[in-house]
Chains A and B, each alone.
Chain A
Amino acid sequence: MSTQATRDIKGGRLDPSDYAENFSDIHPPLSRHEALVEADRCYFCYDAPCMTACPTSIDVPLFIRQISADNPKGSAKTIFEQNILGGMCARVCPTETLCEQACVREAAEGKPVKIGQLQRYATDHLMREFKEHPFQRAASTGKRVAVVGAGPAGLSCAHRLAMHGHDVTVFEAREKAGGLSEYGIAAYKSVDDFAQKELQFILDIGGITIENNKKLGAEITVSGLAADYDAVFLGIGLGNVNALGLEGEEADGCVDAVDYIARLRQATDLSTMPIGRHVVVIGGGMTAIDVATQAKLLGAEEVTIAYRRGKDGMNASDYEQELAQTHGVTIRHWLQPKALVLADNGSIAGIELEYTSQANGTLAGTGETTTLVADQVFKAIGQQFDGHPLAGSGIDLDRGRIRTNDERKTSLANVWAGGDCVRSGEDLTVVSVEDGKVAAESIHATLTA
């Protein structure tokens, strides 16, 4: 199937000043007064549901009370004790499905305490005002730990290990450390190079060395690290992107959303990001929302998210869906990709979608179709763990990801793992931080036993 169409993909759709405006902080930080007023709304619940809902178990009532008592530094320490990436989590956590959903004021009046924004207020304060690291390293143990992957899981693990006095080397495949904090996440959620600032803050504790451009399975191997170090932590994330499985997927204009977001995050000039006039995003998770919203912010005229199930089936929270919609993105449900429409020159011209319905838990196409004009089709239908670097290592997988126990130990002695590459909780920054922290405590206990 082919069609005549004038492709329209280009950068610079906006006035230069609009890029800064469009990609500015989505939630400007609370002022001191705003923070005090908001903090005062917290009831300081007993055995607080928000704290239970937080994957890293941050003592939310305590940190908020410390804000109301005008001790933002102490508040930040309360946060960082449980979650050293508390600054990033304050920006990217889907609080509406975690602490803020559990907040009793959500039950009472549908207006939870703005826990995420208060967390940001406190952590920003400490990171801005204080030069010394809030935690001190324990005396050196002489033990050496290799951490693979400088994303949230790896950095969390590295920091906790360094705090306990171990020497940590973090191997990172990319040019920069930070993982999805640096290469994922919508730009307007992490402005002013925050991922790198947070990285520096974490490294300030000392005892952590980062080695960039070291990829597992290439420059380093599990067996090599296991031989050279006292313990190994794998926080290698998800390496593969799911394919649509349609003919023409390699065509110009069919774009991997994760890769596009990474390029957008690294772009020093956003007007260089090519964006179509008509954009279709396939998927229903955070990546779909992030790429669709940012496509709109880059100046795309029409952006449609097509998702094969209903609203409730979307992994993106209601809040995130609304965020996309208020930016002008159209979300269409019960539509699955059927065929890519290619122009005569072989590039993407549109996408044919088939309506779906669900019966007895099974999703099926109805046979009816519709075709959307598209200069670009973004694939955001999930990622998969790439197990190739572990081949022959003796590390067991569980449904395609690394199997770990509660302490994040893998099946291989002295190797731990955490973050998106393991089969634990949701694929969230905060869950990765918890994995890294739990693994670090387990490694520490093992090394000092």
Chain B
Amino acid sequence: MADISTNFLGIKSPNPFWLASAPPTDKAYNVERAFEAGWGGVVWKTLGEAGPPVVNVNGPRYGAIYGPDRRLLGLNNIELITDRDLEINLKEITEVKKRWPDRAMIVSLMVPCEEESWKSILLRVNETGADGIELNFGCPHGMSERGMGAAVGQVPEYIEMVSRWCKQYTDLPVIVKLTPNITDVRYPARAARKGGADAVSLINTINSIVAVDLDNLAPVPTIDGKGSHGGYCGPAVKPIALNMVAEIARDVETHGLPISGIGGINTWRDAAEFIALGCGTVQVCTAAMTYGFKIVQEMTEGLSDWMDEKGYQSLEDFQGKAVPNVSDWQYLNLNYVTKARIDQDSCIKCGRCHIACEDTSHQAITNMVDGARMFEVIDEECVGCNLCVSVCPVEDCITMETISGVDPRTGKTIDPDYANWTTHPNNPMAVKVAAE
């Protein structure tokens, strides 16, 4: 059986599944239930500085996007960092870590952007026995208005500065949690590394208004007639998170920087994808908030079963293996030609491939053949775009086939050799091929 234990920055956990810093990790009660359920670690909900804690709204804090049958696809929240007293949190962290020595205990922190503030809280965290700290530079709502959270995460210089302070005042591994609410995630990641941070975790939630209540004409969730943008998370954000993880994993300046992947991880498969893109651990929140802690059983077993099937003995065996396959568009092989193929036996004749292609793409799928309802690909028109596959309700009914020889669409013979845009004759910037 595959070994799914992890050693991330020297922090060991029995599996890569950590609970992200969020309501599920707000207090000892929840965290102990999570550990009992089998979670490998937690990032304790973000602590603020000593003194009166922040307060949360007393109205709704969440809004949701649903798929069929009210399956939760996206969640948005306007909750702030912990609203419990710092001393209670520190005491509970100490006690829980002592009771669960084999689990990862990371403490998330967010204090004003001043050296003294960071110094004083770090000295306190050092005493808890926690395994590491995570700097919350991502929270996009509320705290960012006070110059913390995403307000720091959006300024690479601040990230570098605070990372440096942290490395100075603690020996614990420092993970910088990044906000996706920026244009290019590589800059904050580079800044974190420059500041000495040991790892990054991403993504935090995305600025969002989840819906507008059409009766009140106000954003959802609505607090006394008003709504504020919140942080979007859940299955819907996974593609955004995967891309940002990949960007950091393959960036020359941050390549090799340990990453804890976060964003819409709902099953073992999602986790495997993040790990394949280089993540050493993954963090989960919305899935647990939707279904409870028990889901970790499916995640650990699913991951392990899949690894067995693939012959991977440890996470390292496939960690980062997808990174070299993430390419810039310009290097994609333009001599790779595919055509859609519709399996008539499994086709249920809904016609969605036809109308999608006919109305919105390349008019490459019939709806009638010899007077009968039939959907067939017209190779002369098919550009191999995969839209028909995407909209077909029957799995594997439409597949993409790689062709060779003459492309019926262009009438030209397909060059069997790899060639990309950088050398393409239509590219005014094309590099002249040396052989010419």
The listed residue (B68, B367, B393) touching A47 by CB distance below 8 A is B367
Given A36-B69, A46-B352, A46-B367, 10 extra CB contacts under 8 A: A33-B70, A41-B68, A43-B393, A44-B352, A45-B349, A45-B352, A46-B351, A47-B373, A104-B350, A107-B348
5 tightest A-B CB contacts, nearest first: A46-B351, A46-B355, A40-B68, A104-B348, A108-B348
Which residues of chain B have C-beta atoms less than 8 A from A104's C-beta? 348-350
Some 26 contacts from A to B, beta carbons below 8 A apart, are A33-B70, A36-B69, A37-B68, A40-B68, A40-B69, A41-B68, A43-B350, A43-B352, A44-B352, A46-B350, A46-B352, A46-B354, A46-B355, A46-B367, A47-B351, A47-B367, A47-B373, A48-B351, A49-B349, A49-B373, A104-B349, A104-B350, A107-B349, A108-B348, A108-B393, A108-B394
Is A105 close to B, CB under 8 A?
yes
Which residues of chain A have C-beta atoms less than 8 A from B70's C-beta? 33
Q: In the complex, which residue of chain A has the Cβ closest to the Cβ of B397?
A: A108
Asked whether A105 and B348 contact (CB < 8 A) given A37-B68, A43-B393, the answer is yes
**B contacts, CB < 8 Å to A:** 68-70, 348-352, 354-355, 367, 373, 393-394
Q: In the complex, which residue of chain A has the Cβ closest to the Cβ of B355?
A: A46
* A37 & B69 in contact (Cβ 8 Å cutoff): yes
CB distance from A60 to the nearest CB of B (A): 13
Residue among A33, A47, A49, A105 facing the most chain B CB atoms (10 A cut-off): A47
Which residues of chain B have C-beta atoms less than 8 A from A37's C-beta? 68-69
Residue among B68, B348, B350, B373 facing the most chain A CB atoms (10 A cut-off): B350
Which residues of chain A have C-beta atoms less than 8 A from B349's C-beta? 45, 49, 104, 107
Contact flags A35-65 to B (C-beta < 8 A → 1, else 0): 0110011011111110000000000000000
Distance between Cα atoms of A49 and B367 in the complex (Å): 12
Which residues of chain B have C-beta atoms less than 8 A from A41's C-beta? 68
**Could you tell me how many residues of chain A have their Cβ less than 8 Å away from some Cβ of chain B?**
16
Which residues of chain A have C-beta atoms less than 8 A from B393's C-beta? 43, 108
Distance between Cα atoms of A49 and B374 in the complex (Å): 12
Which residues of chain B have C-beta atoms less than 8 A from A43's C-beta? 350, 352, 393
Residue among A37, A46, A47 facing the most chain B CB atoms (10 A cut-off): A46
**A contacts, CB < 8 Å to B:** 33, 36-37, 40-41, 43-49, 104-105, 107-108
CB distance from B360 to the nearest CB of A (A): 12
Distance between Cα atoms of A45 and B355 in the complex (Å): 9
* A45 & B69 in contact (Cβ 8 Å cutoff): no
Q: In the complex, which residue of chain A has the Cβ closest to the Cβ of B346?
A: A108
Distance between Cα atoms of A47 and B352 in the complex (Å): 10
Which residues of chain A have C-beta atoms less than 8 A from B367's C-beta? 46-47
Which residues of chain B have C-beta atoms less than 8 A from A108's C-beta? 348, 393-394
Distance between Cα atoms of A33 and B66 in the complex (Å): 13
Distance between Cα atoms of A107 and B397 in the complex (Å): 14
Distance between Cα atoms of A207 and B373 in the complex (Å): 43
Distance between Cα atoms of A104 and B355 in the complex (Å): 16
Which residues of chain B have C-beta atoms less than 8 A from A44's C-beta? 352
Distance between Cα atoms of A209 and B69 in the complex (Å): 46
Which residues of chain A have C-beta atoms less than 8 A from B350's C-beta? 43, 45-46, 104
CB distance from A349 to the nearest CB of B (A): 54
Distance between Cα atoms of A46 and B392 in the complex (Å): 12
Which residues of chain B have C-beta atoms less than 8 A from A40's C-beta? 68-69
Q: In the complex, which residue of chain B has the Cβ closest to the Cβ of A68?
A: B68
Distance between Cα atoms of A236 and B348 in the complex (Å): 41
Q: In the complex, which residue of chain A has the Cβ closest to the Cβ of B67?
A: A40
Distance between Cα atoms of A33 and B68 in the complex (Å): 10
Distance between Cα atoms of A33 and B70 in the complex (Å): 9
Which residues of chain B have C-beta atoms less than 8 A from A33's C-beta? 70
Which residues of chain A have C-beta atoms less than 8 A from B68's C-beta? 37, 40-41
Which residues of chain A have C-beta atoms less than 8 A from B394's C-beta? 108
Distance between Cα atoms of A363 and B352 in the complex (Å): 46
Distance between Cα atoms of A40 and B354 in the complex (Å): 20
Q: In the complex, which residue of chain A has the Cβ closest to the Cβ of B354?
A: A46
Which residues of chain A have C-beta atoms less than 8 A from B354's C-beta? 46
CB distance from A42 to the nearest CB of B (A): 10
Q: In the complex, which residue of chain A has the Cβ closest to the Cβ of B66?
A: A36
Q: In the complex, which residue of chain B has the Cβ closest to the Cβ of A41?
A: B68
Distance between Cα atoms of A48 and B373 in the complex (Å): 11
Which residues of chain B have C-beta atoms less than 8 A from A47's C-beta? 351, 367, 373
Q: In the complex, which residue of chain B has the Cβ closest to the Cβ of A102?
A: B349
CB distance from A243 to the nearest CB of B (A): 45
Distance between Cα atoms of A28 and B381 in the complex (Å): 49
CB distance from B389 to the nearest CB of A (A): 15
Q: In the complex, which residue of chain A has the Cβ closest to the Cβ of B353?
A: A46
Distance between Cα atoms of A36 and B373 in the complex (Å): 29
Distance between Cα atoms of A104 and B352 in the complex (Å): 11
Distance between Cα atoms of A45 and B347 in the complex (Å): 13
Distance between Cα atoms of A108 and B351 in the complex (Å): 13
Which residues of chain B have C-beta atoms less than 8 A from A36's C-beta? 69
CB distance from A154 to the nearest CB of B (A): 35
CB distance from A316 to the nearest CB of B (A): 27
Distance between Cα atoms of A37 and B393 in the complex (Å): 16
